[in-house]
Chains A and B, each alone.
Chain A
Amino acid sequence: MDRSVLLLNERNLKQRKIKNYLMILFCAISSIITIFPLVYIFFYTTGAGISAINLDFFINLPKPVGETGGGMLNAIVGTLILIGIGGLFGIPIGILAGIYVSEYSGSIMSNIVKFITDVLSGTPSIIIGIFAYGLIVLPMQRFSALAGGFALGILMIPTITRITEEMLKLVPHTLREASLALGISRWKTTLRIVLRTASSGIITGILLAIARASGETAPLLFTSFGNNFWSISLDQPIASIPVMIFNYAISPFDEWHRKAWAGAFVLITIVFLVNLIVRIVTKTKYKAG
């Protein structure tokens, strides 16, 4: 080609170099643009949250408008209960599906499971909410913690399945063969040896899924609904931090906005810590491996 001829052309080379610098500059600038909102949101939330947060926030129930003080104790407990229900239901299914996809890969069924998990992870969370509504709220005739937990459980499944699958694939094949050669049955090999080797990775996956579920709002709006009072019964509407933030944020009262910021601060701290822990754990693991 005449590329070599072009190379000799001095002006052309200069142009190419300028273009080179411009594009690299553009890449660096876009990184800064991307980081900016994160830093901004983070400090904005922290700034507004820290001034509003105090011990009351964690140990008191919400007060009506006009009264000072009060906290979100019911929402905090509610979120924990919802995540508990979701985890009870989502974690085993997620792990089992992950085992199936990884250990029995190749079969048509495992490909179908894999595809469904992919679809599920891309499904908007509000759709999951409608699903839980149709399945649990309609038959029960009222909003309940159970329905909210169920929706969160479904949301956890794809994350856990994906990570379980990837972690199991990292387990060397020779380990499985050694175990099988000793005459140990296949399910015992999977359960006692493969799963145990991959357990720390799977735990990080569960942590990530919980962090994600704890911030989910959309599916809870019409499943667990929210509750301004103390309630821990599973068949009643229950409060949760994200829904509380939503209701407070769109309200016209300054006092409530401050509460909502405090809640947002709590959520963002959880997310940040979990990600940091996961990051550190996986890093040391890769170094050791």
Chain B
Amino acid sequence: MIIYEMFKDSEESRNMFSWGFIFVDDWDSVKESYGALSFIYGTIVSSLIALFMALPVSIGVAIFLSELAKTAIRTTISFMVEILAAIPSIIYGFWGIFALAPFMRETVQPFLQSVLGFIPFFQGNIYGFGMLTAGIILAIMITPIITSITRDVLRAIPVSQREAAYSLGSTRWEAIKMALLNAKSGILGATVLGLGRAIGETMAVTMVIGNRAQIKASLFEPAYSMASVIANEFAEASGSLHISALIEVGLILFGVTFIINSLARFLIFSVTYKMDNK
């Protein structure tokens, strides 16, 4: 039903721009020329930054929770991770504007520029708001999801496997590595699910990404994402073509998250199913 509705409502824009819509980076409501490439780029890059930062940390936490921590510490930390997942995204965004962005502008970005300035990613003007800041916020937001699923997948691996590893004289890390290898498709699923979440995240990204439709190599530059352009322009869109174009952006977004989520469910399911049937 959702798909049908969005398909119908975006008809005008689809007829107008056909497939060129996703390959053109021009977005101008005055000239009535719409292309979504810069939003797609912004969404993908900010999500990838988030994933790149969140993945090792989440796996670390998941291992800590499922293999290492004592019960008291474990319940406290899992509770905190749950809260982290439950905080409304608007609060992340708000915090991003007033705490993270100034911090990025004054401390992190000048430092990165002076150390890694030779890479194009870290050149250009420093605004504080931009791709990198959005990526960091997203990383904070998707860590709890990846963590909790990875932890569940690790728990599904039988303890006897670890005992077998210990009995062969392996260290604790080597035993954990065994479990990780067994859980790898589940962890991949958790990662993909986190990616899907990052792609669809709206408010927090809108508030810190800078909202400028452009494609720049520098991660410090403001950018735009699919979800945030809808959030910003939908309520005051001028003309039916504009709305229709925005709905088409939504349709692309929905398609992407749909595929990603189905993939993730399938991967997680395959691990838990295999373990249940052993």
User: What's the interface size class on B, roughly?
Assistant: 35 or more
Identify the B interface with A (CB < 8 A): 1-2, 5-6, 8-9, 56-61, 63-65, 68-69, 77, 79-84, 86-95, 97-99, 140, 143-144, 147, 168-169, 171-174, 176, 193, 196-197, 199-203, 207, 227, 230-231, 234-235, 246-247, 250, 253-254, 257-258, 260-262, 264-265
Contact B174 A20 (CB under 8 A): yes
Bound-state Cα–Cα, A211 to B68, Å: 31
Contact B257 A17 (CB under 8 A): no
Choose the segment among A88-96, A100-108, A186-194, A267-275 that binds chain B (4+ C-beta atoms closer than 8 Å).
A267-275
Contacts A122-B261, A218-B227, A221-B231 given: A26-B60 contact, CB under 8 Å? yes
Bound-state Cα–Cα, A40 to B97, Å: 14
- 16 more A-B residue pairs beyond the given contacts A7-B169, A225-B235, with a C-beta to C-beta distance below 8 A: A27-B64, A30-B56, A30-B59, A31-B60, A34-B147, A37-B84, A37-B140, A45-B95, A118-B261, A119-B261, A124-B199, A125-B200, A130-B230, A130-B250, A246-B90, A261-B94
| 115-151 of chain A: CB within 8 A of chain B | 115, 118-119, 122-131, 133-135, 138, 143
Contact B91 A27 (CB under 8 A): no
Contact A28 B64 (CB under 8 A): yes
Chain A nearest CB from B218 CB (Å) reads: 24
Chain A residue numbers with a CB within 8 Å of B197 are 122
Instruction: Supply 12 A–B pairs (Cβ within 8 Å), ascending by A.
Output: A30-B56, A35-B77, A45-B91, A48-B98, A118-B261, A125-B202, A126-B202, A126-B231, A127-B257, A134-B9, A217-B89, A249-B93
**Which of B88, B172, B201, B234 is the one whose CB lies under 8 Å from A133?**
B234
Main secondary structure of the interface of A (DSSP, over half): helix
Chain B nearest CB from A53 CB (Å) reads: 15
Contact B94 A249 (CB under 8 A): yes
Identify the A interface with B (CB < 8 A): 3, 7, 16-17, 19-20, 23-24, 26-31, 33-35, 37-38, 40-41, 44-45, 48, 115, 118-119, 122-131, 133-135, 138, 143, 208, 211-212, 214-218, 221-222, 225, 242, 245-246, 249-250, 257, 260-261, 264, 267-268, 271-272, 274-275, 279
Bound-state Cα–Cα, A93 to B68, Å: 41
Bound-state Cα–Cα, A194 to B194, Å: 34
Chain B residue numbers with a CB within 8 Å of A118 are 261, 265
Contact B60 A124 (CB under 8 A): no
**Which of B79, B147, B247 is the one whose CB lies under 8 Å from A130?**
B247
Q: Which residue of A lies closest to B203 (CB)?
A: A217
Contacts A118-B265, A217-B89 given: A123-B174 contact, CB under 8 Å? no
Contact A271 B201 (CB under 8 A): no
Contact B5 A135 (CB under 8 A): yes
Bound-state Cα–Cα, A271 to B92, Å: 13
Contact A126 B83 (CB under 8 A): no
Bound-state Cα–Cα, A254 to B64, Å: 42
Contact B86 A212 (CB under 8 A): yes
Q: Which residue of A lies closest to B264 (CB)?
A: A122
Bound-state Cα–Cα, A27 to B150, Å: 13
Chain B nearest CB from A249 CB (Å) reads: 5
Total inter-chain residue pairs, C-beta < 8 Å = 203
**Which of B68, B171, B258 is the one whose CB lies under 8 Å from A16?**
B171
Bound-state Cα–Cα, A29 to B68, Å: 13
Contact A264 B83 (CB under 8 A): no
Chain A nearest CB from B84 CB (Å) reads: 5
Contact A31 B230 (CB under 8 A): no
Contact B200 A27 (CB under 8 A): no
Bound-state Cα–Cα, A69 to B186, Å: 52
Contact B253 A127 (CB under 8 A): yes
Question: Which of A27, A29, A48, A261 has the most chain B CB atoms closer than 10 A to its own CB?
Answer: A27
**Which of A23, A128, A246, A260 is the one whose CB lies under 8 Å from B203?**
A246
Contact B231 A134 (CB under 8 A): no
Q: Which residue of A lies closest to B234 (CB)?
A: A222
Chain A residue numbers with a CB within 8 Å of B81 are 34
Chain A residue numbers with a CB within 8 Å of B207 are 246, 249-250
Chain A nearest CB from B44 CB (Å) reads: 15
Contact A40 B87 (CB under 8 A): no
Contact A221 B63 (CB under 8 A): no
Contact A119 B262 (CB under 8 A): yes
**Which of B58, B60, B235 is the one whose CB lies under 8 Å from A29?**
B60
Chain B residue numbers with a CB within 8 Å of A27 are 60-61, 63-64, 68
